[in-house]
Chains A and B, each alone.
Chain A
């Protein structure tokens, strides 16, 4: 009899493990499908008329795929090979890198959003909750208004500004240690002040095109991204995401609250700061190349958690796939919907994100708890 129960329990455990991994596989495969579909559209269509055959011929052109020279141009910033045709140039230097940047940005925002939701223990947290976006935005506005000679360094400066604002949030929140609530409140304080200064700076810009580019940056856009952006974001993305997967066990324990984490022998303050630092690095990598794209870092972790559950490792894996799928998918809309006018992708993600939360609000009672 006991044996029977044990065997039943084993069965059930096996079934539940299968279910857990199958939901993750579902998210992964679904995301890949969306990503492939979006890639097909992005490569095939655009302002420059290319036939499907031309476009895809260029993508799978072995002369480029296996060309050391071409890849050196893409990844290390060397000059483009002279033998590039116009079609090859359009596909390889305009359409493909944009997709790649979208993938990197989507993965960064989704994973860092998941981390911030865990450390603040708030499902409605986003990568921008601890002041990163406000610091970066302020720096960008300052550069645009006063130091236009630093314009080429905007990605790096924005990332530094974001990191500095995060440290400021921590300093404000610190009083014999921090807590999720104090951190979030400090984020609000810094965000409010920096946001005001940011808006004030707009009045000092006389040039309309500068205002436009500032707006595009603040809404988040993949416009005009090329291999240069890939080169900036890729190393930091790889570093931040690798670290994020190293600390999933720590994230699991942090999610249980400070008291429990402490009783399990975790130095909570140090670990929270380190983990937040990883997420800030990841966010900064995204912001530096794409500006402040909203909602991706908020809804993707939320959706993934609803499907695969709260295990950090599975959550981050799901985000790693769904984030790029959502962002690249939204960018299809941003680029092609009103062609030839291109919208900032952040506008599309906001348009998708709002209704998703409306749906969630109607569906669930206890929205907001992790």
Chain B
């Protein structure tokens, strides 16, 4: 089962998820094909020719250090960034061939930081997630009410329904935004760091919503996570990125290993197998160029500053 699922090299890992997996793996719903994406203001693309297949009805977590291109890849998948080369297929159809509202009915995306007007209520915000389901002159589409109720219930924010968004805590706000994305009622949902900056309880609540989505409405979820143990616990497959390329992908127990953490994150870490999946304990940063010299530099700098002080 695992033979072609995981590999240390970026090249061979690319095929691991789509074709080789017949028994348990479902068909991929979202495919990135030799995708090259970047930002117009930067010459070098951030993601340079990566291939990825996201299995339908599963939770896929993107992990990687800051600046490794996780968010960029997510934006590329969502057609938020126009690819310089390659293509993204949703259900076998190019994402840029969809009409924008049509795409938004199939694929939802919640970005890292969202700001809503303070003076609207939670219910009003969640309702705005129904936008792609409405025609230009329709102020309300069929099923809006039910979808909003369902989204609010699933995100567990019923008790906040009539509160103004400006009065919520950070964790509550995040759940409300997730409710908005749920009201959009898409087959695929992309979440950019949904748990970063949240307290443990709200992190758990967010991840519970993600699990419910997969188990009850068979939604495919792709999410960027900073917490590697969290990714290992909740995701069906983990994709590790480093410097814009996919370093490894596969089930968490295969991807989240001490070797990979050293390669991808430059950290010395211990991975402990538990009943909740592999748990990662970070120990030390690895400095590739100057192993174990961090202490020395510090002393040097201190010496510098004291000399400056004397002058």
| A residues lining the B interface (CB < 8 Å) | 9, 12-13, 16, 121, 176, 246, 248-249, 252-253, 255-257, 259-260, 262-267, 305-306, 309-311, 313, 366, 369-370
Which of A252, A253, A257 meets B114, CB within 8 Å? A257
CB atoms of A9 and B184 under 8 A apart: no
CB atoms of A263 and B111 under 8 A apart: yes
Chain B 104-135 per-residue mask, 1 if CB under 8 angstroms from chain A, else 0 = 11001111001111111101110011011010
| Cα distance, A259 to B75, chains bound together (Å) | 10
- Specify which chain A residues have a CB less than 8 angstroms from the CB of B41 in the assembled complex: 176
CB atoms of A263 and B110 under 8 A apart: yes
- Specify which chain B residues have a CB less than 8 angstroms from the CB of A13 in the assembled complex: 123, 161-162
| Cα distance, A246 to B139, chains bound together (Å) | 9
Please list the 9 inter-chain residue pairs (A to B) with the smallest Cβ-Cβ separation, ordered nearest first.
A265-B104, A310-B117, A265-B101, A310-B119, A265-B132, A310-B120, A263-B109, A16-B162, A259-B111
The verdict on A309 contacting B121 (CB below 8 Å), with A265-B103, A265-B105, A267-B100 known, is yes
Given contacts A263-B80, A305-B119, 18 further A-B pairs with CB under 8 A are A9-B158, A13-B123, A176-B40, A255-B116, A256-B115, A257-B114, A257-B115, A259-B80, A262-B80, A263-B108, A263-B110, A264-B132, A265-B131, A266-B101, A310-B117, A310-B118, A311-B120, A311-B124
Q: List 19 A-B contacts (CB under 8 A).
A: A12-B161, A13-B123, A176-B41, A252-B124, A256-B115, A257-B114, A259-B111, A260-B110, A260-B111, A260-B180, A263-B80, A265-B101, A265-B131, A267-B100, A309-B164, A310-B119, A311-B124, A369-B118, A370-B118
Question: Which size bracket describes the interface of B in this complex?
Answer: 35 or more
The verdict on A266 contacting B40 (CB below 8 Å), with A255-B117, A369-B118 known, is no
CB atoms of B131 and A12 under 8 A apart: no
CB atoms of A264 and B162 under 8 A apart: no
- Specify which chain A residues have a CB less than 8 angstroms from the CB of B118 in the assembled complex: 310, 366, 369-370
CB distance from B101 to the nearest CB of A (A): 4
CB distance from A6 to the nearest CB of B (A): 9
Which of B109, B111, B117, B125 meets A370, CB within 8 Å? B117
The verdict on A249 contacting B114 (CB below 8 Å), with A263-B80, A265-B104, A310-B120 known, is no
